[in-house]
Amino acid sequence: MDFSGKNVVITGGTGALGNAVVGALLEAGARCTVSFVHLSEGQRFAHSEHERVKLVAVRDLADESAVAKLYDGITPWASIHLAGGFAAAPIADTAKATLTDQIEGNLVTCFLCCQAAVNAMRSGGQGGRIVNVAARPALEWRQGAGMTAYTVAKAGVAALTVALAEEVAHDGILVNAVAPSIMDTPANRSAMPQADHDSWPKVEEVAATILFLASPDNRVTRGAVVPVYGKV
């Protein structure tokens, strides 16, 4: 896959999956604009010194003006939205604030970045690709037991992806999402030390799926929420 000369915006690009996605994009020749929240994220980011990486501090991706600044002056070929958050608790113990935080952090951020990306791509007139990140409970709702707020938010991301794909297909913009199960990251291994880590999808494997969906090689796939579950 060749991204030479193409601009790609990646939100949440300094995390475990983000590092894998940005690394693969750089190998394919892309110019990457990567958002981050805390200074320490940018400092730890493996690709922070790369000549084709631009790090942009964005305090809140649920803020329209902040998102507008992220996309200002960029004509992206692709926009990849990895930013989000997780919360698990029985519904009896889930405060309204937790539900609101999950919707803001997962669905609203994705919506606003999709909106900004579509406007920028339409201005460029060359089409483009958008890739969102849903989750396994977004497709298999029973998997969301004990994490209903997160499930509702990620199901919204899946619905947004499919509806938007239909809306902007005539502009040459193909919109898709991936739906990972638990990914093999240091944080997840630490949280679940007794789990079968070998069965989890690796971030590099999920990144490979994202890269194809975002690439010029993807000429026809749109409106897909692709399961990336590994062996479980």
Beta carbons within 10 angstroms of residue 58's beta carbon? 18
Do residues 181 and 200 lie in contact, with contact meaning Cβ atoms separated by under 8 Å? yes
Out of 150, 181, 207, 222, the active site residue is 150
Q: Report the alpha-carbon distance of residue 207 to residue 9 in Å, rounded.
A: 15
What is the rounded radius of gyration, in angstroms, for the C-alpha atoms of the chain? 17
Stated as kind and residue range, the H or E segment containing 174 is strand 173-180
Q: Report the alpha-carbon distance of residue 40 to residue 145 in Å, rounded.
A: 33
Respond yes or no: is residue 150 known to be catalytic: yes
* Closest among 110, 17, 18 to 8, alpha carbons compared: 18
Give the length of the chain.
Answer: 232
Do residues 47 and 19 lie in contact, with contact meaning Cβ atoms separated by under 8 Å? yes
* Closest among 34, 25, 23 to 4, alpha carbons compared: 25
Q: Report the alpha-carbon distance of residue 61 to residue 70 in Å, rounded.
A: 9
Do residues 152 and 209 lie in contact, with contact meaning Cβ atoms separated by under 8 Å? no
Q: The tokens of 35 are what? A: 């958002």
Q: Which residues are catalytic?
A: 150
